[in-house]
Amino acid sequence: MKKLIGIVAAFLLMASTALADTTIKVDGSTTVLPIMQKVVEAYMKAHPDVKISVSGGGSGNGIKALIDGATDIAMASRAMEQKEIDLAKTKNVAANQIVCAIDAIVPVVNPANKLSEITLAQLKDLYMGKITTWKDLGGDGPVVVISRDTSSGTYETWEGLVMKKERVFPGALMQASSGAVVQAVSKNKNAMGYVGIGYLDASTKALKVDGIEATAENAKSKKFPISRDLYLYTNGAPAGAVKGLVDFLLGAEGQKLVKEAGFVPLN
């Protein structure tokens, strides 16, 4: 009997280990989230033995989770900073960067707004609080500035490419996700926000920047001035079930899903 119990216990241990090997946790950027949700749904349908959980708490939170060993894949809409890479090394985490898609951060206004284009200089002035009324841009009414929060990779990219390292002024209304920005702008005729290209829909109006439209072609060529790569980060080169998921995303079917999510595939 004891021998039988031992065999059963060993079997259960092996089964639980096998389950752990096929459980993947993904965390991070709310910009990359729609892509990953589509990819995970398709991948789990084809691989029912693999269990994947996906959550979007922002690029900074995803990278922190990777460094702390709390996630297998970090989604990020900005590159890891050197201080993050150095911190990862102190915890024996070798941050491995994978470009998974291309994006454009697009200024958006309420559809009732007559504005159709804007300059980088004007965007900077708006987000520094120097421009406070739409009258300065040919419109009417006060400007309600909507921004992503500081844990967001989209915020950090905006800060680098638009603000030129200047901080967004304290009067901006900070939102925890791109979806929240869309909702806020769609409900306020005086609002101005910015979102990834995959979040554009009829509830907001996209603006040209310096006369250039945010198209897939212009994002890929980086002609659109607020274009960027989207990333996944793993601890070292992907292996096992994680490699299977990453390879699927980078393959033809996964890149097709990138396009379906509204973002720009790599090729």
Could you tell me which of 211, 260, 184, 215 has the C-alpha nearest to residue 103? 215
Q: Please indicate, yes or no, whether residues 97 and 59 belong to a single structural domain of this protein.
A: yes
Q: In this structure, is residue 215 part of a structural domain?
A: yes
Q: Please indicate, yes or no, whether residues 84 and 189 belong to a single structural domain of this protein.
A: no
Q: Please indicate, yes or no, whether residues 69 and 169 belong to a single structural domain of this protein.
A: no
Q: What does the pLDDT read at residue 14?
A: 45
Q: Tell me the CB-side half-sphere exposure of residue 252, using CA atoms within 13 A.
A: 0
Q: What does the pLDDT read at residue 183?
A: 97
Q: In this structure, is residue 248 part of a structural domain?
A: yes
Q: What does the pLDDT read at residue 22?
A: 81
Q: Please indicate, yes or no, whether residues 154 and 117 belong to a single structural domain of this protein.
A: yes
Q: Please indicate, yes or no, whether residues 80 and 32 belong to a single structural domain of this protein.
A: yes
What is the reported pTM? 0.86
Expressed as residue numbers, the domain containing 142 is 103-220
Cα torsion 97, 102, 105, 106 to 10°: value is -170
Q: What does the pLDDT read at residue 47?
A: 95
Which residues of the chain fall below pLDDT 50?
Answer: 2-21
Q: What does the pLDDT read at residue 20?
A: 46
Q: Please indicate, yes or no, whether residues 141 and 202 belong to a single structural domain of this protein.
A: yes
Does residue 166 contact residue 156 with C-beta atoms inside 8 Å? no
Q: In this structure, is residue 244 part of a structural domain?
A: yes
Helix (H, G, I), strand (E, B) or coil at 258: helix
Could you tell me which of 259, 235, 257, 254 has the C-alpha nearest to residue 244? 254
* CATH number of domain containing 86: 3.40.190.10
Q: Please indicate, yes or no, whether residues 108 and 42 belong to a single structural domain of this protein.
A: no
Q: Please indicate, yes or no, whether residues 55 and 94 belong to a single structural domain of this protein.
A: yes
Q: Please indicate, yes or no, whether residues 118 and 216 belong to a single structural domain of this protein.
A: yes
Q: What is the pLDDT of residues 43-59, one digit of tens each?
A: 999 999 999 999 998 99
Q: What is the pLDDT of residues 69-128, one digit of tens each?
A: 999 999 999 999 999 999 999 999 999 999 999 999 999 999 999 999 999 999 999 999
* Alpha-carbon gap, residue 114 to 117, rounded angstroms: 9
Q: What type of residue sits at position 8?
A: V
Q: What does the pLDDT read at residue 151?
A: 87
Provide the domain count of the chain.
2
Q: Please indicate, yes or no, whether residues 74 and 25 belong to a single structural domain of this protein.
A: yes
Q: What does the pLDDT read at residue 11?
A: 43
Could you tell me which of 106, 110, 118, 104 has the C-alpha nearest to residue 204? 110
Q: What does the pLDDT read at residue 138?
A: 86
Q: Tell me the CB-side half-sphere exposure of residue 172, using CA atoms within 13 A.
A: 26
Q: In this structure, is residue 186 part of a structural domain?
A: yes
Q: Please indicate, yes or no, whether residues 122 and 151 belong to a single structural domain of this protein.
A: yes
Q: What does the pLDDT read at residue 57?
A: 87
- Whole-Å CA distances, 38 to 180, 258, 266: 20, 8, 16
Q: In this structure, is residue 267 part of a structural domain?
A: no
- Whole-Å CA distances, 81 to 42, 64, 162, 168: 32, 12, 18, 19
Q: Please indicate, yes or no, whether residues 23 and 88 belong to a single structural domain of this protein.
A: yes
Residues 6 or more apart whose Cβ sits within 8 Å of residue 14: none
Q: In this structure, is residue 266 part of a structural domain?
A: no
Could you tell me which of 217, 216, 198, 195 has the C-alpha nearest to residue 207? 195
